[in-house]
Chain A
Amino acid sequence: MTPFDPNNFLESLIRFVAGTFAPALSLVPPREIWRGRAIEGAACAPLYTSVALYPGAGQRFEALPKKSIQWLTIGPEKNPDAVALRAQKIYEALLGSEGRPLQMKTINGFKTDGTADGTWQLKNVVFIQTPGALGPDEEGRPQWVFNTDIDLCKLT
């Protein structure tokens, strides 16, 4: 079995999602999509999404890693609509052309330093829920979230 690095997988996934936007979501300061916790400040866009693995799905008798991923979007206090829209567009990036969750989707692989690293396949994307508002954070900023389980494999 090809060794599995969850950090590289997450990096590849966020780069795939970022690339579905026009223009692409920025991965450089001010960064708009983050692997794990965002570092707020000058390096971070006011409207951004944190994408993080969390201990969710278990693995039964199948030879496929399954990862649970949270997609948390936070934005300016005075623009809640933008936060909702960004969360929705990220959700839609994980849908195929028929509007169904992605299956058997091959994406380019990247290491956490941005260098190319083969390909991954998203075997099956399962949405735990559709994007929804969590309420404001301690600074009054709107927060939207959805969660996914993804069956995956490192193809090359």
Chain B
Amino acid sequence: MSASIDMKEILSGLALKRRRDLAIIERAAGTFAAMLIGNAQAITPVKTGFLQASGTWEKPQITVDNVIVQVGFNASYAAIVHELPPERAHHEPPGQWKFLEVTLRNDGAKFVPYVAAQLKKAN
């Protein structure tokens, strides 16, 4: 005795759900990256504003088991401003060195809960 089930509808429904979920994840990851760069910009040292304005993020990359968003500052001198300690380079508050690292340490742990919450809200 045998039985069979036509899986086509179920599978296409699952595929549609997966595409929607991936779109939600991508949107959430991008929103988080924008927020993170915004927070970093708030403590980026400002002289002309070019460094601060160079904050940016890449389109989220989604793999089977990971979501990656690259964030950073594009100004050619971003690294040196980021790394020179206060005794070698004075910055007017709230600008400070390590402006991206401090932000990532403070906010990075919130990334997964935020994306998960957006996914749960949509489902």
- A residues within 8 Å of B by Cβ? 37, 50, 52, 54-58, 70, 72, 128, 132, 134-135, 137, 143, 145, 147
Contact = CB atoms under 8 A, between A and B. Distances in A.
B85 A52 contact: yes
B80 interface: yes
Nearest to A144: B83
Interface of B: 77, 79-80, 83-85, 87-88, 98, 101-102, 105
Contacts of B88: 37, 137
A72 B83 contact: yes
B62 to A, nearest CB: 25
Contacts of A37: 85, 87-88
Contact of A54 (B77, B79, B98): B98
A128 B101 contact: yes
A33 to B, nearest CB: 16
A56 B101 contact: yes
A58 B102 CA distance: 10
Given A128-B101, A143-B80, A147-B101, 11 more contacts: A37-B85, A37-B87, A52-B85, A54-B85, A55-B98, A56-B98, A56-B101, A56-B102, A56-B105, A58-B105, A132-B79
A135 B77 CA distance: 8
Nearest to A50: B85
